[in-house]
Amino acid sequence: MKSLVNALNSNRFVLLLVLLLFLLIVPLIMKASWVSLVNEMLIMALAGCALNLMLGYTGMVSFGPAGLYAVGAYTTAILLTRYRFPFAIAMISAPILAGIIGGLVGWFCVRRSAVYFALLTLAFAQIIWTILFEWYGFTGGDNGIVSIPIPEFFFTISHCYYLTLIIVGISLLLLWTIVQSPFGKTLQAIRENPGRTEFIAIHLKRYQLAAFVLSSAFLGIAGSLFCVFSGSVFPDYAHWVKSTDMLVICLLGGFYNFGGPIVGSVVYILLSKMISKQTMFWMFFLGVIIVFLVLFMRNGIVGFLSEKLAPVLDKTSGSGPDEGTR
């Protein structure tokens, strides 16, 4: 057992490759409904990792990530529907606009910290929701926007899946690069001790704002992908309940690990679908799971496994200066 675990740990790269290969052949080996499921999991995994850049890495608790996610979704939807922009441009505009709005919102939010910061993010997200809900002429109001003219090529489930896989793959790679960079380490230092960082000549608010903007941009990409995946957008994409879903995904998987939100997304979506097939009161069980999670598994699945496997793992297997958050 020990040698198996050791082998798995020191061959993380190989594991990743196997996972990637598996993801590549999913449409070939699974039914369409399962392919859609994996598609959804990939999108939420990206959203979770985007949120986690702020949450797990920089220590900024946001109650409103869904707002920026919805900005991305609606940007693509409106550009495709109202203005008939080319598909590629409609997609690329999502992170750009989400980043810009994230910058505006973030500039206000980082003026405050902790509870007040969180409440500010909540308020801004609700303003976004209200605008989406009320501006019938531009956003379709509470009807949302349906039958979005995505290119016919992506009507096929497997084509849409590969689009998601490629974009999520690239985005996660970018996020990983950011997190492993000096900038990423600086963000972690901010999480550990924000006050101290000013004493090492770091302009705290500027870095927090940068994390906010980057997080928003990647949330925008996720939103845009979901728009293409589902062919429609609704104001509830910005609702605080959706934001809480994202927070739960991060918590479920584990904040202090890059892969946490990915695991969280898979488990959360799988559980939701499985339980909702069994009973119409599936949200009750979801609530119970969430309560259980907070009380007994605060470090998420990945954190829990790391702790349990720590005595088993051989600690000299090259885990150098990557310990703070992998």
Binders in 256-285 for another protein, by CB under 8 A: 256, 281, 283-284
Q: Give the pair of three-digit tokens for residue 31.
A: 């039914």
Nearest residue (CB) to another protein, 153 versus 292? 292
Q: Which is nearer to another protein, 122 or 157 (CB)?
A: 122
Q: In the window 285-314, what residues touch another protein (CB under 8 A)?
A: 286-291, 293-295, 298
Amino acid letter, residue 162 = Y
Closest to another protein by CB, 163 vs 187, is: 187
Candidates 188, 232, 272, 276: give the one binding another protein (CB under 8 A). 188
| Shortest Å, Cβ 3 to another protein | 23
Phi, psi of 313 (to 5 degrees): -70, 140
Q: What is the spatial distance between Cα 323 and Cα 243, in angstroms, rounded to a whole number?
A: 29
Residue 27 vs 253, nearer CB to another protein: 253
Instruction: Please identify, among the stretches 81-89, 159-167, 199-207, 222-230, the one whose residues bind another protein according to the rule CB under 8 A.
Output: 199-207
Amino acid 163 reads: L
Query: Residue 325 burial (CB < 10 Å; 0-12/13-18/19+)?
Result: buried
What is the nearest approach in angstroms of another protein to the Cβ of residue 122? 7
Q: What is the CA radius of gyration of the chain?
A: 20
Candidates 6-14, 95-103, 187-195, 219-227; binding stretch for another protein (CB under 8 A) = 187-195
Residue nearer to another protein on the CB measure, 51 or 148? 51
Question: Do the beta carbons of residue 142 and residue 236 sit within 8 Å?
Answer: no
Footprint (CB under 8 A) of another protein, residues 42-61: 55, 61
Shortest spacing between CB 154 and another protein, in angstroms: 31
**What is the Cα–Cα distance from 282 to 270, expressed in whole angstroms?**
12
Nearest approach, Cβ of residue 2 and another protein (Å): 22
CB of 320 to another protein, least distance (A): 7
Question: Which positions from 226 through 255 interact with another protein, judged by CB under 8 A?
Answer: 240-241, 244, 247-248, 251
User: At closest approach, how far in Å is the CB of 98 from another protein?
Assistant: 18
Concatenating the DSSP letter of every residue in 179-198 gives: HHSHHHHHHHHHHH-HHHHH
Interface with another protein in residues 100-159 (CB under 8 A): 108, 111-112, 114-116, 118-120, 122-124, 126-127, 130-131, 134-135
- Contact between residue 160 and residue 229 where contact means Cβ atoms under 8 Å apart: yes
Binding string, residues 156-185; x marks residues near another protein by CB under 8 A: ---------------------xx-xxxxxx
Minimum gap (Å) between residue 283 Cβ and another protein: 5
Q: Closest separation between CB of residue 294 and another protein, Å?
A: 4
Token pair for 68: 């920026």
Quick one: 158 or 276, whose CB is closer to another protein?
A: 276
Q: Which two tokens stand for residue 309?
A: 């496997």
* Angle separating helix axes 157-180 and 12-29, nearest 10 degrees: 160
The CB-of-240 to another protein minimum distance in angstroms stands at: 7
Q: How many CA atoms lie within 13 A of 63 on its CB side?
A: 16
Residues 170 and 255: their CA atoms lie apart, in Å, by 21
What one-character DSSP code corresponds to residue 315? Answer: T
Q: How many angstroms separate the Cα of 207 from the Cα of each of 11, 17, 57, 72, 175?
A: 34, 33, 12, 23, 16
The answer to whether 218 contacts another protein (rule: CB under 8 A) is no
